[in-house]
Amino acid sequence: MTGDVLLKATDVVKNFPVRGGAAGRRGPVVHAVDGVSLEVRRGETLGVVGESGCGKSTLGRCLVRLGEVTSGRIEFEGQDITRLSRRRLRPVRPGLQMVFQDPYTSLNPRRTVGEIVAEPLLVHRRGTHAEIRATVADILDRVGLTAEQADRYPHEFSGGMRQRVGIARSLALEPRLIVADEPVSALDVSIQAQVLNLFADLQEQLGLTYLFVAHDLGVVRRVSNRIAVMYLGRVVELGPADRVYSTPAHPYTQALLSAVPRIDDGTPAQTPTRERIVLSGDVPNPIDLPSGCTFHPRCPFARDNCRTERPPLSVDATGRQVACHYPLG
Amino acid sequence: MSEPLFEVTDLQVSFRGRSGPVNAVNGLSYTVMPGQVLGVVGESGSGKSVSSMGLLGLIRDRGATVTGSARFQGRELIGMPDRELRSVRGREIAMVFQDPMTSLTPVYTVGWHIAEQIRAHESISKKAARHRAIELLAEVGIPDPARRVDAYPHEFSGGMRQRAVIAMALACDPALLIADEPTTALDVTTQAQILDLMLRLRETHGSSIMVITHDMGVVSEIADRVLVMYGGRAVEAGTCREVFHTPHHPYTRGLLASVPRIGGEKLHRLPTIPGAPIASSERPTGCAFAPRCAERHDACTMQPLLTGDGHLSACWLTAPEVPA
């Protein structure tokens, strides 16, 4: 089901300046994304997981060019879009859309649902008003909203319905790639499942490709074909979802998975088999990154060279990428 | 069998709504035994938070009424004068909230908060209180507590703040700790640390813990008993094993099925519960879950009682007597 490379990121770096730098000199920076290279293949869902501050959302925003990258290269459908101007980017935008986390703040409260979904069509001059109205009705139907609901305002909807509106808006221009940034984390469990199923249905019907950013490891496993695990701005492991979850190769992935609280429902799959690995301390300051492997201060297996040499993201025989000097066997 | 530490019977919490009173909690009963961890799970609007806020007198809304009974160590909390209730809160029943900044003032040091907590309930010197604060910070795993005691909340990470709040909660050795979504704002690795900490503290302080959360994984990991809430009522209660291994109520079953797991078979589609959790103002008469329930039948227009032997469920499917 996966095919050619739709989006390719090469060594993407995004730094944010922080206050405190002397005038005229470069101040300290937050290393939000610190050299990420990855490919998103047509038709797949690439999940990006990590804890808060690991740079997963910033990466997602950079890849759709919502924010300038500090360095690196982003290619979408073979075209380098890293430095395209606003005007030059305009024809690229329809192919590359975003769904945001918070359905309460990402929708304009003063516009009806119909107007919200129609806006990208109007901006990109996709047809007459009558045609646009028909398209909007069609899209709303796809996401499980009725045509009558087009005249209502976001506040009249529950969180799950609002997120459907956000998804409808992202579909308006018939994108190839949708970057979804924590699209279900504000929703109740029973609603979350409905929205995740909607993502799956739309992918099947429209052949969409997703970059799915989330912190919930269960959610990411559910939707993803491949998964990238991020820690402090870097991808530490990237591979097929099932392999990453069943046999994590990076000690951080292993610790992260072991920390997820399981519902012991009596089935063997849910009974925790491994001891929980409780990581000591907190995530280090992204302004002043640790030397070598940035995970070494918290890694139970760190050795001397982990403190000095940064492990490259290397590919093993099965195509899984791991950035660790001593990957788990 | 020992006496329950905390026994809530037929708790009702209602607010004044635009068109008449709105019942946020509608006849909730449960008990917490000494040393027990009770997990209360539910989605938004289930009444899980407002019930504990109500019985501790923490609802500011003047239009709110709380009725029923909440006996804590033999004393009735509902209707207790404010002054007296205040001395119970903090000293005997401590609370930890989702956002640690709810309990911390940015302009005072972490040590001040803990010392203040101790001095509000005990007459001890400032110096002794500070000393206790340092001990408590060490106990909850704050590195270098003698120095960190003088740090301000903003200098702490989210996980450390929640540890500091737990230290405050433990300052007076409470008999009951009520933790409302204590780990929801935290990352999963930090969450694991805080859950471990809470379990350790039960051992050392002997406190009972009531954890209110939407996350069934959290409940499964730390609770002895579970109470599943929907629409202001308990729909199912029992030990974790009973409820999670053999859920009786269709809502519990639906909720469990819709959680994407990190292990086991990867389902093509997640089972879902149709519709959305109802607002308390739109609750139907009879079973509140009926409009979303696949197993709805005629009896469901009447409210089923929470019945059973140890493992309780409020559903006509499991009720001993179905109305004719």
Over the stretch A166-175, which tens digit does the pLDDT of each residue have? Answer: 999 999 999 9
Cα angle vertex B96, ends B93, B98, to 5°?
Answer: 150
Q: Which of A150-159, A206-215, A259-268 has the lowest mean pLDDT?
A: A259-268
Residue (of B2, B34, B75, B1) closest to B205 by Cα position: B34
Judge whether B54 lies within some domain. yes
- The C-alpha atoms of residue A320 and residue A315 are separated, in whole angstroms, by 5
Judge whether B31 lies within some domain. yes
On chain A, the residues whose CB falls within 8 A of the CB of B195 are: 261
- Single-letter code of the amino acid located at B162: Q
Judge whether A329 lies within some domain. no
Judge whether A302 lies within some domain. yes
Q: Give yes or no for A287 touching B (CB within 8 A).
A: no
What's the token pair of residue A164?
Answer: 């459907």
Cβ proximity of B47 and B36 under 8 Å: no
Domain boundaries, position B36: 6-262+269-286+293-299
Cβ proximity of A73 and A10 under 8 Å: yes
Cβ proximity of B1 and B34 under 8 Å: no
Asked if pLDDT for residue B45 goes beyond 90, the answer is no
What's the token pair of residue B285?
Answer: 């008469």
Rg (CA), chain A: 21
Judge whether A328 lies within some domain. no
Q: Three-state SS for B271?
A: coil
Q: What is the pLDDT of residue A265?
A: 87
Q: What is the pLDDT of residue A111?
A: 94
Integer CA distances (angstroms), B215 to A15, B222, B309, in order: 34, 11, 26
Burial letters B279-308, b for 16+ CB under 10 A, else e: ebeebeebbbbbebbeebeebbeebbbbeb
Mutate to test the interface with B, among A219, A226, A265, A279 (most CBs of B within 10 A): A265
What's the token pair of residue A47?
Answer: 């999940």
- The C-alpha atoms of residue A12 and residue A18 are separated, in whole angstroms, by 19
Mutate to test the interface with A, among B43, B222, B261, B266 (most CBs of A within 10 A): B261
Distance from the Cα of B272 to chain A's closest Cα (Å) equals: 6
On chain B, the residues whose CB falls within 8 A of the CB of A270 are: 261, 263-264
Cβ proximity of B154 and B181 under 8 Å: no
Cβ pair A264:B157 closer than 8 A: no
Domain boundaries, position A137: 5-18+29-322
Bridge pairing between strands B65-72 and B6-17? antiparallel
Residue (of A37, A73, A27, A7) closest to A234 by Cα position: A37
Q: What is the pLDDT of residue B239?
A: 96
Question: Domain count of chain B?
Answer: 1
Asked if pLDDT for residue B197 goes beyond 60, the answer is yes
Residue (of A298, A275, A263, A267) closest to A189 by Cα position: A263
More confidently predicted of B279 and B135: B135
Mutate to test the interface with B, among A155, A188, A226 (most CBs of B within 10 A): A188
**Chain B residue with minimal CA distance to A225?**
B266
Which are the contacts of B70, defined by CB distance < 8 A and separation ≥ 6? B6, B7, B8, B9, B11, B55, B76, B77, B78
On chain A, the residues whose CB falls within 8 A of the CB of B159 are: 282
- The C-alpha atoms of residue A198 and residue A211 are separated, in whole angstroms, by 15
Above 0.90 for ipTM, yes or no? no
Asked if pLDDT for residue A272 goes beyond 70, the answer is no
Integer CA distances (angstroms), A69 to A12, A53, A214, A238, in order: 7, 17, 21, 22
- The C-alpha atoms of residue B318 and residue B244 are separated, in whole angstroms, by 16
- The C-alpha atoms of residue A167 and residue A139 are separated, in whole angstroms, by 9
Q: Which of A18-22, B70-74, B255-259 has the lowest mean pLDDT?
A: A18-22
Q: What is the pLDDT of residue A1?
A: 43
On chain A, the residues whose CB falls within 8 A of the CB of B164 are: none
The CATH number of the domain where A184 resides is what?
Answer: 3.40.50.300
Q: Give yes or no for B297 touching A (CB within 8 A).
A: no
Cβ proximity of B186 and B158 under 8 Å: yes
Cβ pair B276:A191 closer than 8 A: yes
How many CB pairs (< 8 A) connect A and B?
A: 140
Asked if pLDDT for residue A132 goes beyond 70, the answer is yes
On chain B, the residues whose CB falls within 8 A of the CB of A197 are: 269-270, 272
Judge whether A327 lies within some domain. no
Q: Which of A189, A200, A278 sits opposite B214 (nearest CB)?
A: A189
Asked if pLDDT for residue A2 goes beyond 60, the answer is no
- The C-alpha atoms of residue B35 and residue B4 are separated, in whole angstroms, by 10
Q: Which of B187, B255, B265 sits opposite A52 (nearest CB)?
A: B187
Integer CA distances (angstroms), A62 to A71, A214, A294, in order: 11, 16, 22
Judge whether B121 lies within some domain. yes
Dihedral of CA atoms B254, B260, B266, B272 in degrees, nearest 10, equals: 30
Question: Domain count of chain A?
Answer: 1
Cβ pair B217:A242 closer than 8 A: no
More confidently predicted of B48 and B282: B48
Within chain B, how many helices (H) and strands (E) appear? 10, 11
Burial letters B23-61, b for 16+ CB under 10 A, else e: bbbbbbbbbbbebbbbbbbbbebbbbbbbbbbbbbebee
Judge whether A81 lies within some domain. yes
Judge whether A23 lies within some domain. no
What's the token pair of residue A234?
Answer: 């870097």
Judge whether B313 lies within some domain. no
Mutate to test the interface with A, among B262, B270, B293 (most CBs of A within 10 A): B262
Q: Which of B187, B191, B255 sits opposite A190 (nearest CB)?
A: B255
Q: Give yes or no for B285 touching A (CB within 8 A).
A: no
Q: Which of residues 129-158 of A touch B (CB under 8 A)?
A: 158
pTM exceeds cut of 0.95: no
Give start and end residues of each alpha helix (H) in chain A. Answer: 56-63, 86-89, 113-123, 129-142, 159-171, 189-206, 217-223, 241-246, 251-259, 304-308
The CATH number of the domain where B282 resides is what?
Answer: 3.40.50.300
